[in-house]
Amino acid sequence: MITESLDFILKLLNVFVIIIFILFSTILFAYIMIKFKKKLLTKNKFLLWLLFALWIVVGSWVINKENAPSKPEMVQQTENKKTENKEFESIKLKTQQYLKNKYQMALQVSQIEYSWETNDYIMKAFAIDRPGVIFDVFFNKQLQSIMDTYLILYWKHDVITELKLLLLNLYLPEQVYSDDSSENRVEGAINLDQNLYKSIIHSKASEIPSYKKIVDNYPYKSSIRLTYYLKLNLTIENKQEQFNKVFEVIQFYRSKKLRIGGLDIHFCDTTNERLTHNINIIGEKDSKRITSPKDIEQFFSTVKYNEK
């Protein structure tokens, strides 16, 4: 991948040099034509045009040939690419084994690229039995260390799945952005108490709890943050009904002994999907102030557009 990037840059430079050559030649030719316009006969003009075309073709060919890699260089580039691919495969296998040992399950490493900024090989991985949980893995070349985001994405996947089911019980299917194409329209995450999180990440693979077990076994030691969009025309007539539904969402998570760390709800026009209204409950301090559907009014706002 590194070699391919360098090759691409060199090709761009080569094209740039040819463009500069053509521009310079064109300006020079135009100057000659204007300067000696009166002295040139039609026949001579034709010959000049022919020479100009020949000059451009030959000049571009020479530049391209000069900048093209020689056979030894091409062989070296091929060898470098092979070495790079071998290194990538070696790192992928090493990472895959690390993940298998850590989580005691089959995980597949797919994409891999190198970051010059962090000196990391960045990979995408997923559990074979849970392909929907795609997470990042970072292999630091200098430190020979591996980090991953599996647990965060593992819990997040379950939070979002649960939230989508809850929303589909409260709203009509066409009102909820619950399909895979509506990326980031239904979002959720669980934030664990710091001490609890530390104890989990250092525990054995068999002892790592699922989202459900965290909720069941560690009441009030985690908070939930949710975001969802609705394709729904909010009116004065249905506003209170929507507040009632939002309150149901809050009560659902409270019944699971989860703190509400934040709740963002966005209402979109059904015709053009333009954002019209928001409910923004920021942090636990705000959520504690909600004891009935009427309390949601203080977190409700209308989106204003500067129409010209």
Q: What span, in angstroms and rounded, lies between the C-alpha atoms of 104 and 194? A: 24
- Mean pLDDT along residues 154-181: 84
Distance CA 121, CA 92 (A): 9
Q: Are 229 and 186 in contact (CB under 8 A)?
A: yes
| CA 86 – CA 105 distance, rounded (Å) | 25
Q: What integer pLDDT is reported at residue 107 of this predicted model?
A: 86
The DSSP code for 121 is E
Residue 141's pLDDT is 81
Strand bridging mode 259-268 / 275-282:
antiparallel
* pLDDT, tens digit, 9 for 90 and up, residues 242-279: 999 999 999 999 998 888 889 999 999 998 889 999 99
Quick one: pLDDT band at residue 117, thresholds 50, 70, 90?
Answer: confident
Quote the pLDDT of residue 110: 82
State residue 186's pLDDT score.
87
* 76 confidence band (pLDDT: 50, 70, 90): very low
Interval 30-57 mean pLDDT = 62
**What is the side-by-side strand order in the sheet with 120-127?**
107-115, 120-127, 130-140, 145-148
For 240-269, give the DSSP string. Answer: HHHHHHHHHHHHHHHHTT-EEEEEEEEEE-
- Under 8 Å CB-to-CB from 85, ≥6 apart: which residues? none
User: With 90 as the cut, is the pLDDT of residue 137 above it?
Assistant: yes
pLDDT for 77 equals: 45
Domain ranges of the chain: 2-68, 73-148, 152-302
| pLDDT confidence of residue 75 | 44
Which helix (H) or strand (E) covers residue 148, if one does?
A: strand 145-148
Amino acid symbol at 32:
I
Task: Please tell me the predicted confidence (pLDDT) of residue 226.
Answer: 93
Distance CA 245, CA 279 (A): 12
Q: Are 174 and 154 in contact (CB under 8 A)?
A: no
Write b or e for each residue in 69-84: b if 16 or more Cβ atoms lie within 10 A of its Cβ, otherwise e: eeeeeeeebeeeeeee
pLDDT of 114 higher than 90: no
Amino acid at 11: K
Tokens of 299: 């977190």
* Contact yes or no for 152/137 (Cβ under 8 A): no
In sequence order, which residues have a C-beta less than 8 Å from that of residue 92 and are 6 or more positions away?
109, 112, 123
Q: What is the pLDDT of residue 185?
A: 82
- Rounded mean pLDDT, 26-46: 62
| pLDDT given at position 30 | 67
The pLDDT of 20-32, averaged and rounded, is 69
Of 177, 136, 131, 120, residue with least CA distance to 157: 131
- Note if the pTM is more than 0.85: no
pLDDT digits (tens, 9 = 90+) for 179-219: 554 455 888 999 888 888 888 887 878 888 889 899 888 88
Reading the block at residue 242, the tokens are: 């929507």
Q: What is the pLDDT of residues 208-219, one digit of tens each?
A: 888 989 988 888
* Average pLDDT in the chain: 80
Half-sphere exposure of 224 (CA within 13 A, CB side): 31
Neighbouring C-beta atoms of residue 239, cutoff 10 Å: 15
Question: What pLDDT is recorded for position 229?
Answer: 92
2/234: higher pLDDT: 234
